[in-house]
Amino acid sequence: MAKINVNGQVREFTAEPDTPLLWVLREQLELTGTKYGCGVAQCGACTVHIDGVPTRSCQRPANSVSPREKVITIEGLSKNGSHPVQKAWVNMDVPQCGYCQSGMIMAAAALLKNRPNPTDADIDAAMTNICRCGTYGRVRAAIKAAAASGRKQAKLDIQHIDGSVA
């Protein structure tokens, strides 16, 4: 039995050496907001944060994640969808089918944590996620809206559901 720190809680799981973190999150920890798309690190549907770094969980063996590392999934990004990225996504009706959007939001949240005022080039570099519905224009607009709302705060912190700040 291995341990992992997810969304501020220490959870236990069992996995083969090559079992991806994605499957542990979805099938053992019931955190199904993180999606399976391609399985080969291309689409970004499976994006979570590991110590604040956006990570494609389909390619990260679960057993390689130390219990000291903090994993954050879409379920733990904020309390009640209050993260500026989540608010911007709602206000601008970003999702279409929605399948890619957890990964998009996690990638965008990590981008804004590092670059609170991103340029188009910053957004292009960070947002490598694939959306089959073609929501790219709204994604870009929502990131800019979230950045603008974040500038009104002293700092665009990620307030996790456990109350900690990333």
Q: Which residues are near ligand FES by CB under 6 A?
A: 36-39, 41-46, 56, 58, 95-101, 131-133, 135
Between residues 44 and 150, which has the closer beta carbon with respect to ligand FES? 44
CB of 160 to ligand FES, least distance (A): 22
CB of 130 to ligand FES, least distance (A): 8
CB of 1 to ligand FES, least distance (A): 25
Between residues 46 and 145, which has the closer beta carbon with respect to ligand FES? 46
CB of 74 to ligand FES, least distance (A): 14
For 119, other C-beta atoms within 10 Å of its C-beta total 9
Between residues 145 and 156, which has the closer beta carbon with respect to ligand FES? 145
Instruction: Please tell me the distance from the alpha carbon of residue 57 to that of residue 93, in angstroms, as a whole number.
Output: 26
Between residues 72 and 131, which has the closer beta carbon with respect to ligand FES? 131
22, 28, 46, 109, 154 from 98: Cα distances, Å: 18, 23, 13, 17, 31
What is the token pair recorded at 16? 């083969």
75: phi then psi, degrees, rounded to nearest 5: -70, -25
What is the token pair recorded at 161? 């559901």
CB of 151 to ligand FES, least distance (A): 27
Between residues 19 and 42, which has the closer beta carbon with respect to ligand FES? 42
Report the side by side order of strands in the sheet with 9-13.
9-13, 2-6, 70-72, 47-50, 53-56
